[in-house]
Amino acid sequence: MIFRALLAVAFAALSVVTGAANASPPASIAASYDVYQNRLPVAVVQEAFEKDGTQYRIVSESTPAGLLALFVRTRIKIHSRGAVTPAGLRPEQFDYGRLDDASKNVSAAFDWGAKQLHLTFDGRNETIPLPQDTQDRVSLMYQFMFLPPEKLTDLAFHMTNGKKIETYRYQLAGTELIDTPLGKMNTLRLVKQREPDDNAVEVWLAPERNFFPVRLLILENDGSRFEQVITRLEFK
């Protein structure tokens, strides 16, 4: 309890300094990331977010980079679209596409009225219950911008990758000044609360930039390290 209280104080102090707590999310975002595996470059991610009234659309494209680009031609394209509500983003359709192998494609259709999620993957269709706070793997990263700042101290939600739904919980681990290709950034560091056999996940949000994720770190159980770092970020 004391630890959480100290984190809340640190978060409140940073919000006052930056004036970011009441910032409205932008209508358009262009972002790029470099992706590293075990500190070696493996991919470049280009993303575009558009908000038009009460609807949103996100497109994320990944291409190989570094030495991997010499041997792998895989391109991944992900779409998320849905509604913008008082609670933030509410996905309606999620699609993951491998441009070199359509058998790897997955999709998720959100039926909020019936509280059902319709999944298509591995040549089959499944329908499962849909929790009201469910995000997809792309909308999740943009949802932080729409949340009340105080909610980021202890955040629980559901997320689908198009094959299943998992429960996620993040806690604020403090503030951190990090170096990025865009310069030094004040950030909030969120850490995923792990279950047995879970990967370790950390996310760095930049309050001065609408609480946008500027760094992501995944440590897998086999020791593999994946890191995603912002290289371009434009708001309109």
What Rg, from alpha-carbon coordinates, does the chain have? 18
What whole-number percentage of the chain has pLDDT above 70? 89
**What is residue 29's three-state secondary structure?**
strand
Instruction: Give residues with Cβ within 8 angstroms of 90, minimum separation 6.
Output: 82, 83, 84, 110, 112
CATH 2.60.40 correct for 2-235: no
Q: Specify the pLDDT at position 70.
A: 67
Residue 208 has pLDDT above 90, yes or no: yes
Model confidence at 15, pLDDT cuts 50, 70, 90, reads very low
Which percentage of the chain shows pLDDT scores above 90? 78
Q: What is the mean pLDDT of the chain?
A: 89
- What number of CA atoms fall less than 13 Å from residue 90's CA on the CB side? 16
99, 71 Cβ separation under 8 angstroms: no
Rounded Cα–Cα distance for residues 111 and 116 (Å)? 5
Of residues 63, 124, 73, 62, the one with CA closest to residue 101: 73
Measure the N-to-C terminal CA separation of the chain; round to a whole number of Å: 39
Residues 6+ positions from 211 with CB-CB distance below 8 Å? 20, 144, 145, 147, 149, 152, 188, 205
Structure tokens at 223: 């020791």
Tell me how far apart the alpha carbons of residues 59 and 30 are, in angstroms, rounded to a whole number. 10
Residue in the structure block whose two tokens are 């975002």: 29
CA–CA dist 176, 39 (Å, integer)? 20
User: Looking at residues 129-152, what average pLDDT do you find?
Assistant: 95
